[in-house]
């Protein structure tokens, strides 16, 4: 069923290396980059300027005849794709535009890109939250965005052709370096870097080096408020990459995953995190420096990571997230002054601390675009499901809460989001191109945290996942087919098989899937709804 389902995804074709028709060759090319080399990220489309270095011919903001004609052709292709039921048509429309007008990104972007958002995890949600904040401006211009997650060159072109107004763009982390010169955004939002598709973006330090080179080329002096980087101070890889930029606003939101940044990105020495035996700072002071809302088990280095060998350390943030409160700090304030700074509650329809982190990053970016932090956060309250994430769906007589997790950091975030849920849990892992074919990362996910839950495993890699859970001591059933697995999970929730009474409704199940498994589950629910 996988082939049929993935060709009819509800919100556009596949994500990842195949989304823009790029075969995994991209990973091969980028895997051999020397430090400091310009990334070849623009090689994802024919005719793109190599390495983003070639000066575009036409000045930004003036759309040539060629681009205007390409835009008409692209719109027609997108419509045809939708009518044929091949998806949202975003990617095919963009590909047609780029084939006819290879420099369309620069021309269409002009000076209207308000923000680009990049990270390993959270970029679709953060883009959506920032879009909501800007759309709520009282007399604001309209906002266009690639909200469906088509985050490479073709998807970005389609977003830019979708209407007038400011653009808020999610950009794939491997394509950021190549696209930055053409997009010339006012704000660049950078949140986290971790291992994702092992056959594509496993080398996070190399990715950070590419960002670092591209960000050094931002010209923050050209115009007030252009080329500002808003970066997470708690991710050492992001800090090292962003610190080359001419102007950076540091934001402390914590990090759910630090295993990929355990050594210093600059000198490769082991970093010291608060609480480490090597941390010779006063333990009480370190605890006080940690955010008040740090959750137990959260390995966030928010109290201040540092390299004992070189001078790289956590920069002083000007916006912090403490639990569910965001605070703006004046430069130089600390301790008691930090705690008395005015706080803005971070209340969201979206669940979990990971989404509060996304919201505060988005709000800090909105602040650079003229909004105040409190109003930006208030405008995000009603954002519910984001491209299907956190949606309640129904199929096979099961009402299920669908979560997306594509890499170890994402799984840890979802464990946080599920909290103490006692519903049966279905885990589904595929290994198609958009997922990455190497799924050995499952050994980095702390599945031990699922001991005691009623678990069913499914998907193309159900056998691998089953072995992983056995190693973790998690009892489970293995049912490869998704429909059958949903029914099996439902049976686990039937009276007598769970902690009744007072437990969750019998037909409700939590589901976590990686990218194509997640999309297949959406298709199952959509097909059942259409019957
Ligand atoms: Zn160092």
Cis before residue 347, ω within 30 degrees of 0? no
**How far is the centre of ligand 1, averaged over its atoms, from the C-alpha of 264 (Å)?**
5
Q: Is 169 helix (H, G, I), strand (E, B) or coil?
A: strand
What spacing in Å lies between the alpha carbon of 232 and ligand 1's midpoint?
A: 18
Residue 270 alpha carbon to ligand 1 centre in Å: 8
Mean pLDDT value across the chain: 80
Per residue in 346-393, pLDDT tens?
999 999 999 999 999 999 999 999 999 999 999 999 998 788 899 999
CA of 240 to the centre of ligand 1 (A): 10
Do residues 123 and 117 make contact, with C-beta atoms less than 8 angstroms apart?
yes
Q: How close is the Cα of 33 to the center of ligand 1, in Å? A: 21
Ligand 1 centroid vs 379 CA: distance in angstroms?
39
List of domains in the chain: 33-378 (3.40.1190.10), 391-530 (3.90.190.20)
**Sequence-separated (6 or more) residues with CB below 8 Å from residue 201:** 27, 120, 173, 174, 195, 207
Q: How far, in Å, is the centroid of ligand 1 from the Cα of 169?
A: 32
Residue 504 has pLDDT above 80, yes or no: no
Contact residues for 486 (Cβ-Cβ < 8 A; gap 6+): 395, 396, 398, 400, 426, 509, 511, 524
pLDDT in tens, 432-465: 988 888 898 899 899 999 999 999 999 999 999 9
Instruction: Give percent of the chain above pLDDT 90.
Output: 52
Query: Residue 393's beta-bridge partner residues?
Result: 400
The environment of the single-atom ion ligand 1, i.e. residues with CB closer than 5 A, is 264, 266-267, 269, 307, 309-310, 312
For the chain, the first-to-last Cα distance in angstroms comes to 18
Concatenate the DSSP letters of all residues of 356-401 into one string: HHHHHHHHHHHHHTT--HHHHHHTTTT---BTTBTEEEEETTEEEE
Cα 194 to the center of its chain, rounded Å: 11
CA of 271 to the centre of ligand 1 (A): 7
Question: What is the value of pTM for the model shown?
Answer: 0.80
Low-confidence winner among 23-27, 297-301, 367-371 (lowest mean pLDDT): 23-27
Average confidence (pLDDT) over 336-354: 81
Number of H helices, E strands in the chain: 18, 15
């Amino acid at each position: 069923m996988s082939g049929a389902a993935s060709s009819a995804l509800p919100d556009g074709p596949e994500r990842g290396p195949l989304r823009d028709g790029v075969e995994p060759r991209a990973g091969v090319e980028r895997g051999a980059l020397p430090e400091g080399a310009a990334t070849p990220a623009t090689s994802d489309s024919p005719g793109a300027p190599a390495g983003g270095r070639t000066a575009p011919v036409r000045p930004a903001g003036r759309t040539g005849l060629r681009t205007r004609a390409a835009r008409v052709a692209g719109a027609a292709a997108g419509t045809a794709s939708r009518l044929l039921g091949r998806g949202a048509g975003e990617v095919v429309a963009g590909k047609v535009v780029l084939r006819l007008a290879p420099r369309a990104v620069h021309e269409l972007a002009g000076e209207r890109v308000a923000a680009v958002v990049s990270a390993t995890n959270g970029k679709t949600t953060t883009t959506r939250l920032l879009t909501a904040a800007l759309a709520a401006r009282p007399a604001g211009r309209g906002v266009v965005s690639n909200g469906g997650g088509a985050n490479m060159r073709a998807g970005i072109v389609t977003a830019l052709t979708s209407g007038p107004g400011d653009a808020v763009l999610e950009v794939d982390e491997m394509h950021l370096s190549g696209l930055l010169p053409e997009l010339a955004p006012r704000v660049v939002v950078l949140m986290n870097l971790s291992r994702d598709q092992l056959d594509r973006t496993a080398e996070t330090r190399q990715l950070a080096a590419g960002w670092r080179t591209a960000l050094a080329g931002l010209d923050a002096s050209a115009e007030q408020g252009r080329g500002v980087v808003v970066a997470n101070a708690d991710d050492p890889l992001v800090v090292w990459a962003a610190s080359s930029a001419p102007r950076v606003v540091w934001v402390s939101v914590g990090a759910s995953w630090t295993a990929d940044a355990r050594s210093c990105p600059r000198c490769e020495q082991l970093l010291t995190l608060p609480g480490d035996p090597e941390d010779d700072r006063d333990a009480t002071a370190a605890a006080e420096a940690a955010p008040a809302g740090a959750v137990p088990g959260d390995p966030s280095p928010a109290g201040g990571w540092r390299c004992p060998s070189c001078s790289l350390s956590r920069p002083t943030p000007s916006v912090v997230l403490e639990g569910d409160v965001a605070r703006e700090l004046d430069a130089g304030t600390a301790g008691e002054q930090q705690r008395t700074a005015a706080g803005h509650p971070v209340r969201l329809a979206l669940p979990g601390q990971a989404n509060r982190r996304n919201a505060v990053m988005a709000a800090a970016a909105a602040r650079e675009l003229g909004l105040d932090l409190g109003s930006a956060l208030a405008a995000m309250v009603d954002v519910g499901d984001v491209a299907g994430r956190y949606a309640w769906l129904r199929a096979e007589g099961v009402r299920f809460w669908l979560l997306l997790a594509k890499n170890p950091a994402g799984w840890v975030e979802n464990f946080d989001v599920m909290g103490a849920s006692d519903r049966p849990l279905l885990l589904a892992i595929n290994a198609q191109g958009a997922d990455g074919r190497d799924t050995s990362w499952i050994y980095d996910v702390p599945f031990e945290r699922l001991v005691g839950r009623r678990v069913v495993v499914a998907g193309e890699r159900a056998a691998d996942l089953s072995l992983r859970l056995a190693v973790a001591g998690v009892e489970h059933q293995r049912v490869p087919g998704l429909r059958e697995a949903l029914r099996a999970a439902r049976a686990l929730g039937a009276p007598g098989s769970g902690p009744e009474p007072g437990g969750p409704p019998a037909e409700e199940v939590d589901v976590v899937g990686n990218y194509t498994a997640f999309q297949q589950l959406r298709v199952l629910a959509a097909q059942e709804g259409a019957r």
